[in-house]
Amino acid sequence: MTSLTLGPLLFHWPAEKRRDFYARIADEAPITCVYLGEIVCSKRLPWFEKDLPDIAARLRRAGKEVVFSTPALITEAREAKFVEAALESADVIEINDLAALRVVGGRKFVSGPLINVFNEGTLDVLVRLGAARINMPAEMSLESIAILAAHNPTGATEVFAFGRQHLAISQRCYHARAHDLHKDDCQFVCGHDADGMVASELDGRPLLAINGTETLSHGYFAPLGELDRLREAGVSHFRLSPHTCDMVAVAALYRAVLDHAMEAEEALARLAEMIAPDPFINGYLHGRPGMEWHRAATNTAIANG
C-alpha cells in the first residue's frame, strides 16, 4: 500500500505544543512513517531535544516507523554531533546535507528532499552510498519524477505532498533581521510565526513565507488531484509537512483519496477550508512556475500566490 509520511516539523513550536502534536499523530493519524529532528536551525534543538526519545518511543508503540532528520546545513560541531546521536538512537536517518555522509559511514539512510536529485547519475551515487529511499526535490515535474522513479532500484520514491514548499535555506536569518536582530541574538523570534512569517510584494500581495533561515512558498502545495498519476509513475511515499491546521484531518483526507474513498475535488474543498485564506499551489509539478495552481481535472492554470 502507498505510504503517507510526516516530514520533520520545520517551525519553532513550544515544547508542550510539539509533544501534544506528536501524541495525536501517534494515536490518530493514518501515517506510516514520521520524521523527527531539526533541519532548519540547530539553535532550536535545546528547546525540545530531551523530548525526542519519548516522542519517538510513543510513535513506535503506535506502529509508526521513525526516521531522524538531520540539518540542512552542517556547519558547526553541534550539528555533526546531532547526526552522530541520531545514528545511535534511530534505525534510519534522513540526510539533508551531503556532509552527513561522512558520519553515516555506509549505513542505510533516506535521501531527503533538500538533496538535489535531478538526474539518474546522482540517484545512482546515492543508492550506491546506502540510500534506501529517495526524496524528489520540490521543483520536479511529474514527468521528471516518473523518469527517476522508474530508474530507482530501491523501489522507494518519496514526494512532498502537503504544505508550504521549501525553496531555499541560508546561513543568514532573515526572520531575525526582520525584527532588527542578529542571528546570534535572534531571541528565537521565529517562534512567533507558527506557520512561518509571510513576506509580501510591494503591492501587498503575499509571495513567500520566512521560517528562520528557511524560505518557503506562501501557498500550500496540495496535489490531491495528481496522487493517482504520481502513484502510477512509481511514487511509493507521500510526505505531509506539519502545520498548525489539523494534521490528523489532513492525513485522513489524503488517505481517503489514495484509497479512492473520496474524490479529490471534495478533499480539496475540505482542505481549502482548513488552510484559508492561504491558497493552493502545484505549479512545479506541471512544469510551470511554482506559485501557480493547476486544476488537474479541468486542465487550467492560474497564478495563485
What digits encode the pLDDT tens for the residues 199-229? 999 999 999 999 999 999 999 999 999 999 9
Q: What is the spatial distance between Cα 209 and Cα 228, in angstroms, rounded to a whole number?
A: 29
Q: Report residue 30's pLDDT band, with 50, 70 and 90 as the boundaries.
A: very high
Average pLDDT over residues 259-279: 97
In this prediction the pTM is 0.94
Nearest to 134 by CA among 214, 142, 145, 161: 145
Give pLDDT tens digits for 99-158.
888 888 778 999 999 999 999 999 999 999 999 999 999 999 999 999 999 999 999 999
Share of the chain above pLDDT 90, in %: 78
β-pairing, 157-169 vs 131-135, is: parallel
Q: Where exactly are the structural domains of the chain?
A: 3-165+219-278
Q: Is CATH 3.20.20.70 correct for 3-165+219-278? A: yes
276 vs 54, 64, 249, CA distance in Å?
33, 30, 15
Q: What is the spatial distance between Cα 200 and Cα 177, in angstroms, rounded to a whole number?
A: 16
Residue 305 CB contacts under 8 Å (≥ 6 apart), including other chains = 205, 206, 207, 218, 219, 279, 281, 291
Beta carbons within 10 angstroms of residue 298's beta carbon: 8
